[in-house]
């Protein structure tokens, strides 16, 4: 994912990806995405383990002739002890970090697609 500079793919064997996400506020999370299932025509599901553990689904919908809406839902819990222990106080920072990483990914993906005549 060359457009998502906060997310590093450490390995990908075609069925499992090992990833590290870097928050702009100073911490990283590592996780493995596996059990990817594609249900035609429009849904992908997966499981994850590591720092965030849970499952996710992605649905694609047509928005226009040249655009689609990608809806990604990821239901996870955090396994890192320091994150669980500090979440009552640091939750707003964790949410901000997540939102910044996702906004950067969305912006860069749109720019990357536009350079390929698909944005």
**Residues 76-108: tens digit of each pLDDT:** 998 889 888 999 999 999 899 889 998 998 899
Domains with residue ranges and CATH for the chain: 7-114 (3.30.530.20)
Task: Classify 50 in phi/psi space as left (phi over 0), alpha (psi -120 to 50) or beta.
Answer: left
Give the chain's mean pLDDT: 89
CA dihedral 87, 89, 95, 98 (to 10 degrees): -60
pLDDT of residue 118: 54
């Amino acid at each position: 994912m060359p457009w998502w500079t906060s997310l590093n793919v450490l390995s990908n064997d075609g069925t499992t990806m090992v990833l590290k996400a870097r928050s702009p506020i100073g911490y990283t999370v590592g996780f493995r995405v596996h059990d990817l299932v594609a249900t035609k025509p429009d849904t992908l599901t997966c499981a994850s383990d590591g720092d965030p553990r849970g499952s996710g689904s992605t649905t694609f919908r047509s928005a226009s002739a040249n655009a689609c809406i990608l809806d990604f839902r990821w239901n996870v819990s955090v396994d890192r002890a320091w994150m669980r222990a500090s979440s009552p106080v640091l939750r707003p920072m964790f949410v901000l970090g997540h939102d910044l990483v996702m906004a950067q990914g969305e912006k860069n993906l749109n720019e990357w697609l536009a350079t390929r005549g698909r944005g």
